Structure 1
Amino acid sequence: MIDETFHYHTRHNLISALELSTEAFQGQAKCRVRVNSNAVIGTELKDNPGESITNAASELAMQVAAFYEIPLDKLIWIEHYSSSESYHDDPREKDWETFDQVSFARNNGRLITPRWKRITKEEAMSLLGEC
């Protein structure tokens, strides 16, 4: 299994361009990825300088699939957020985490229209092949 930080590019949006922030304008972002065969768990990182894994879901999933040579029609994409990895000083209860399996429609070879379904940690680990 691969477990590493993945740097991804996001769309340039008007707000970022108007902020004139070099970092925001470049569209650089990062997340943690755990990859096993066709399954990927992408974790939002608290020091991610760019668009979140949720807001960049389609673009991020396509970039990860291309980089790790996962066919789009076989990709299992799971989003992960946790109190320890995703947020600074989270006001909510400590030691929480969420997992969502994300499905996509496809159009002209691109992933579009993400849909999220909340799953348990056990389901996520099973999909990743870590039972």
Structure 2
Amino acid sequence: MLDEIFTYATPHTLADLLGQSVKLQGTARCRVRVSGNTVIATELPDNPGMSLTNAAASVAMQVCQYYEIPIQQLVWIEHYPEETGHEETFDLVRFGLTDGQLNVERWQRLSRHETEQLFVKPLK
């Protein structure tokens, strides 16, 4: 099992003064735990860029490429740790594949126990 901080590129669009859109590249970070084809991606409280939720398809694609996980076999779990006023959440994210690009189809809330069963290891 791998457990590390993953830096990912994020797309940003900025409207210039003439009303045209300019694509900018940003960077952000999340914690990834990888076990086989299952990834738990955790939003970091000090993430300097786009949130994991807003960049889910892009981050999942980058993680698959970096860790050589077949896209069709990916099990992606998005995790937000407990914070003041918010409880810990785990969501199984289902992706579709269109023209070689991932797109989010739906989120399914999971319990910690369900997440550990999918991940095949206790979470720390």
- Same-fold call, TM > 0.5? yes
| SS of equivalent to 1:115 | strand
Structure 2 unmatched runs, 5+? 18-23
Deviation digits for residues 66-111 of structure 1 (CA, Å, limit 9, x no counterpart): 100000000000000012xxx5xx3x16xx3100000011101111
| SS of equivalent to 2:61 | helix
Aligned partners of 1:126, 1:65: CA distance in 2, in Å? 21
Question: Which structure is higher in RCO with an 8 Å CA cutoff and minimum separation 6?
Answer: 1
Where do 1:47-126 residues align within 5 Å? 47-83=46-82, 87=83, 90=84, 92=85, 96-126=87-117
Structure 1 or 2: more helix by fraction:
1
Q: Work out the percentage of aligned pairs sharing the same amino acid.
A: 51
**What is the aligned length?**
116
TM-aligned CA deviation for residue 114 of structure 1: 3.5
CA RMSD of aligned residues (A): 1.8
Contact 1:57 1:114 in 2 (8 A): no
Contact 1:58 1:114 in 2 (8 A): no
Relative to structure 2, which stretch is displaced further, 39-48 or 25-34? 25-34
Normalized against structure 1, the TM-score is what?
Answer: 0.82
Stretches (4+) displaced over 2 A: none
Deviation digits for residues 9-45 of structure 1 (CA, Å, limit 9, x no counterpart): 0112226x88xxxxxx541000000000000000000
Structure 1 or 2: more strand by fraction:
2
